[in-house]
Amino acid sequence: MGTLKDVSLRNRLSRRQIGSGLLATAASICLPAAASAAVDKESRKSGTFVLVPGAFHGGWCYGRTAKLLRDRGHIVFTPTLSGLAERAHEFSGNINLSTHIEDVVNLIRVEQLNQVVLCGHSYGGMVITGIGSTIAEKIAAIVYLDAFLPSDNQSLFDIIGPEGRQRFLDSAGKLGGIGVAPFTAEYMRVNEGDRAWVDRLCTKHPIATFIEKVNSTSAVEHIPRKHYIMAENFGFQWAFDKIKDRPGWTRETVKCGHDVMIDDPGFLANRLESLLA
């Protein structure tokens, strides 16, 4: 017969065993839901996204959208183009559109990326057109995000016309002739809460990138999925209309300012994800 101490110890052990049994039972009851969540995560198709910023911006502008996509298990690259943002120290008059196209083409090749969902914002539309024309076989979907949509042998200067071109030239004249000062966040209709942040991070842009023409755009038409997103609160209606009846294209609008990835990152993440094969 055990002592009172032994009985007390046995009672404590019994309570622990019962408690452990209850916990195990509870865990087994919860297991199907947990397993279901794991299956859902596993069944979601993982994709690769390359998000190209527009003029004056760096990869930072896609930070919110990139986080949403990465949290869902996707691979996301947000390259900053030569001479901008954290690469502003590389700024020079020798940086042109070909330089920026090569920035991203080299990224895709070195990282050995395939089946890429490629997105370009604003001026980035010029860049992704050049990328699509160079390595179309690696691109599964191309997305123009309130972006320039050039035709063959067109530069950004050709698209914006004499008045817009003169505005850029006047700006460059105040910066030594080779760089254009960034537009204000207010002009781009960025939401008021983010305007100071965007103005602080935008940097001057190499003017030669606006002068160089895109030679050919035909290869882009062979990319399986082509989509245009227009920000209702800005002004790329002309590009939106351009692909209205073009075979193989889809299009939509979103009610926000020009920097869609800042104003509505959730919308953009969902739309990009929906374009996975």
Q: Which residues are catalytic?
A: 122
In the DSSP assignment, the letter for residue 55 is: T
In the DSSP assignment, the letter for residue 223 is: S
Query: What is the rounded distance in angstroms from the CA atom of residue 139 to the CA atom of residue 235?
Result: 27
SS3 194: helix
Do you know the residue count of the chain?
Answer: 277
* Residue 105: both structure tokens together: 């083409």
The H-or-E segment that residue 121 falls in is strand 116-121
| Block residue for tokens 């539309």 | 125
In single-letter form, the type of residue at position 139 comes to I
CA-based R_g, the chain, Å = 26
The torsion angles phi and psi of 226, rounded to 5 degrees, stand at -130, 125
Cβ(144)–Cβ(238) below 8 Å: no
In single-letter form, the type of residue at position 267 comes to F
Q: How many CB atoms lie within 10 A of CB 271?
A: 20
